[in-house]
Amino acid sequence: MMNVVLLEPEMPSNTGNIGRTCVCTGTRLHLIEPLGFMINDKMLKRAGLDYWKDLDVRVYVNFQDFLDKNPDCRGRLYMATTKAYHMYTEADYPEDSYIMFGKESAGIPEEILTQYEDYCVRIPMGRDIRSLNLANSVAVVLYEALRQQGFPGLEPEGSLHRLKWRGHDAADLNRQSEGRKVR
């Protein structure tokens, strides 16, 4: 199971959206206090829709509490930051990796980043842009980690509800599409 770690998230709508992404990918969400909202916040639940009840979420009083309760994260804790010199696609994410993101207004403190220099990754973006939206950043990095692992436990294909693709059922399409790229 992958793990997304949010250090002191401030916006309930971002955390709700991230929670929904975690449920859809079978990822555990770790929240490190202080939070900029209450866990029962209406905006949090609205953004997470009806997925929040299915979320595996853990809350910690601070970063040290997180480390103490997750000793298995050593060597598998990646820090997503605009300050990194490695791109997120350069990292090799093992199973059960932890990917940490900082609060919206300040990111992860440099005192933490310097302890994980080789595990800091960034998403490329324009030179004078502060950062992507937190929920978008989580989705980008998490899906790269899942892609590297072959999307374990996730549905690789979809199907139409009312119609069929070119008269084929999903099994036929799967056999035909093996090894082919989408045009």
Is residue 167 included in any domain, yes or no?
A: no
Q: Residue 54: what pLDDT?
A: 87
Is residue 162 included in any domain, yes or no?
A: no
- Identify the residue with better confidence: 137 or 52: 137
In 102-178, the DSSP E strands lie at 120-121
CA nearest neighbour of 104 among 122, 120, 83, 81 = 81
Is residue 113 included in any domain, yes or no?
A: yes
CATH value at residue 8: 3.40.1280.10
Residue 178 in this model has a pLDDT that exceeds 80: no
Count of domains observed in the chain: 1
Among 17-31, 97-111, 164-178, name the one with the lowest average pLDDT.
164-178
Alpha-carbon distances of 129 from 74, 81, 123, 125, 132, rounded to whole Å: 31, 13, 12, 7, 8
Is residue 164 included in any domain, yes or no?
A: no
Is residue 123 included in any domain, yes or no?
A: yes
- Identify the residue with better confidence: 46 or 100: 100
Q: Residue 49: what pLDDT?
A: 58
Q: Residue 174: what pLDDT?
A: 54
Q: Residue 13: what pLDDT?
A: 86
CA distance 47 to 23: 13
Q: Residue 46: what pLDDT?
A: 62
Q: Residue 45: what pLDDT?
A: 62
Full residue range of the structural domain in which residue 129 is found: 3-156
Is residue 182 included in any domain, yes or no?
A: no
Residue 19: pLDDT band with limits 50, 70, 90: very high
Q: Which residues is 59 bridged to in the sheet?
A: 31
Is residue 102 included in any domain, yes or no?
A: yes
Average pLDDT over all residues of the chain: 88
Is residue 43 included in any domain, yes or no?
A: yes
